[in-house]
């Protein structure tokens, strides 16, 4: 067996199940899950129709590169959404993928040069655990940059030693951040692009929450947008990852895309051809429909805003929590350790939240997430309101 498998940590939800094991919550209270970032809003009906109308295309082998109409729909969407001066080339700068999770993991396997001495994969802390697993299985070492309230939950890249950048082959970003909702500006992204040029590493920007933002006139910047802003029209060393899971409430469709540097994507396509991960044709055609419509995305944002308004109004003065810039998570600072908070909240109120420490790693300066929990406002508005009242009652009892 591959010895690198031994380096993998249990997934956060395995730890959560162990934390809850043996506890019987009050049966008089319905369970409310705020732990998993799985959208519960209804999928767009027109996307489901496009999927069912094309089931006969399951008789066709799909191409790894994807259908031309899907790549063109993705390129048009990205060009418009991020105001790209140099339009993406659907032939060389766009690849459909089976959701960002699969692609983020596979990307490291294609990018990391195992022959180099002690390659590093740099990522934020807390983070999406796929980044760490991808690093280990690619033969690299993850290097974590703490995100805390002191740095507005965005790593201070200027404080990273040159020795780290010299060994860095791949930098994972997540903006808007999971779990914090923090958004990097175009200026901050441009700073990283300059560092990538100087030290010759690749930037993989996980932007799967980019369409769930609070204000219609404040859409989060993207890495390709930052490239465009600085006149970098070939998007060199820059690759972005997007998904329909959060944007369009289609987590089960497993549909997203990767876009950016044509040279990198050419090699990634070669890897993926052997990997055997082509998207089924009906899924591709349903995805075309989703990327071509913005009305359902606007309605989706409105639904999340309503939940944030209601929940934050109830929790006001109860928890140290702020409205995130984007995403659908709350990231409250707690008076007790996140593990204890999550365990007792389940035991007393039958609500499941995820301890922040399960999304982070210990570093020389500590674990930046140990006094936090992640609350995903994915349940119905009524359930979120009920949960907020129960959480308020629980906190007052501490």
Domain final residue pick, 265, 292, 319? 292
Q: Is residue 50 part of a domain?
A: no
How high is the pLDDT of residue 365?
A: 87
Same domain, 250 and 306: no
Same domain, 238 and 327: no
Residue 265: other Cβ atoms inside 10 A: 23
List the pLDDT tens digit at each of the 398 positions of the chain: 999 999 999 999 999 999 999 999 999 999 999 999 999 999 999 999 999 999 999 999 999 999 999 999 999 999 999 999 999 999 999 999 999 999 999 999 999 999 999 999 999 999 999 999 999 999 999 999 999 999 999 999 999 999 999 999 999 999 999 999 999 999 999 999 999 999 999 999 999 999 999 999 999 999 999 999 999 989 999 999 999 999 999 999 999 999 999 999 999 999 999 999 999 999 999 999 999 999 999 999 999 999 999 999 999 999 999 999 999 999 999 999 999 999 999 999 999 999 999 999 999 988 999 999 999 999 999 999 999 999 999 999 99
Q: Is residue 372 part of a domain?
A: yes
Same domain, 134 and 246: yes
Residue corresponding to tokens 């109308």: 53
Could you tell me which of 66, 92, 93, 68 has the C-alpha nearest to residue 82?
93
Same domain, 167 and 267: yes
Full domain range(s) for residue 21: 3-42+296-397
Bond from prior residue into 389 cis (ω within 30 degrees of 0): no
How high is the pLDDT of residue 262?
A: 98
Same domain, 282 and 350: no
Same domain, 165 and 151: yes
- Distance, in Å, from the CA atom of 151 to the CA atom of 188, rounded to the nearest integer, reads 13
Chain centroid offset of residue 150 CA? 22
Same domain, 231 and 335: no
Secondary structure element (H or E) that encloses residue 134, with its range: helix 129-137
Structural tokens at position 66: 């994807």
Structural tokens at position 304: 């999340």
What is the number of structural domains in the chain? 2
Question: Percentage of residues in the chain with pLDDT exceeding 90?
Answer: 98
Same domain, 202 and 275: yes
Give the C-alpha distances (Å, rounded to integers) separating 125 from 55, 285, 357: 42, 37, 10
Domain of 198, CATH number, reads 3.40.640.10
Domain final residue pick, 254, 270, 292? 292
Structural tokens at position 255: 């549909």
Domain final residue pick, 266, 292, 318? 292
How high is the pLDDT of residue 208?
A: 97
């Amino acid at each position: 067996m591959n010895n690198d498998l031994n380096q993998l940590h249990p997934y956060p939800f395995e730890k959560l199940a162990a934390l809850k094991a043996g506890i019987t919550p009050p049966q008089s209270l319905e369970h409310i899950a705020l732990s998993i970032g799985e959208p519960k809003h209804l999928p767009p009906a027109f996307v489901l129709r496009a999927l069912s109308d094309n089931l006969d295309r399951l008789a066709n082998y799909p191409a790894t590169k994807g259908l031309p109409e899907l790549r063109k729909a993705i390129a048009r969407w990205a060009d418009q959404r991020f105001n790209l001066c140099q339009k993406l080339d659907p032939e060389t700068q766009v690849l459909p993928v089976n959701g960002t999770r699969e692609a983020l993991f596979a990307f490291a396997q294609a990018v990391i040069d195992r022959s180099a001495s002690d390659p590093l994969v740099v990522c934020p802390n807390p983070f999406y655990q796929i980044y760490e697993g991808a690093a280990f299985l690619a033969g690299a070492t993850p290097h974590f940059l703490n995100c805390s309230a002191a740095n507005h939950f965005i790593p201070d890249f200027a404080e990273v030693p040159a020795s780290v950048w010299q060994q860095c082959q791949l930098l994972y970003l997540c903006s808007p951040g999971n779990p914090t909702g923090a958004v990097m500006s175009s200026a901050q992204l441009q700073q990283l692009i300059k560092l990538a040029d100087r030290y010759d590493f690749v930037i993989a920007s996980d932007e799967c929450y980019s369409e769930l933002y609070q204000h219609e006139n404040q859409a989060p910047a993207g890495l390709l947008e930052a490239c465009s802003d600085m006149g970098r029209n070939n998007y060199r060393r820059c690759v972005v990852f997007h998904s329909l899971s959060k944007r369009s409430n289609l987590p089960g469709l497993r549909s997203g895309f990767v876009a950016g540097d044509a040279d990198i994507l050419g090699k990634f396509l070669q890897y993926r051809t052997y990997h055997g991960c082509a998207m089924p044709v009906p899924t591709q055609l349903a995805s075309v429909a989703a990327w071509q419509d913005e009305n359902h995305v606007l309605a989706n944002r409105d639904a999340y805003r309503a939940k944030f308004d209601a929940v934050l109004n109830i929790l006001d003065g109860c928890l140290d929590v702020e409205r995130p810039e984007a995403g659908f998570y709350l990231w409250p600072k707690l008076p007790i350790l996140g593990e204890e908070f999550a365990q007792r909240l389940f035991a007393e109120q039958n609500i499941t939240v995820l301890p922040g420490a399960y999304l982070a790693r210990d570093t020389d300066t500590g674990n930046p997430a140990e006094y936090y929990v992640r609350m995903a406002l994915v349940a119905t508005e009524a359930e979120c309101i009920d949960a907020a009242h129960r959480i308020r009652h629980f906190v007052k009892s501490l």
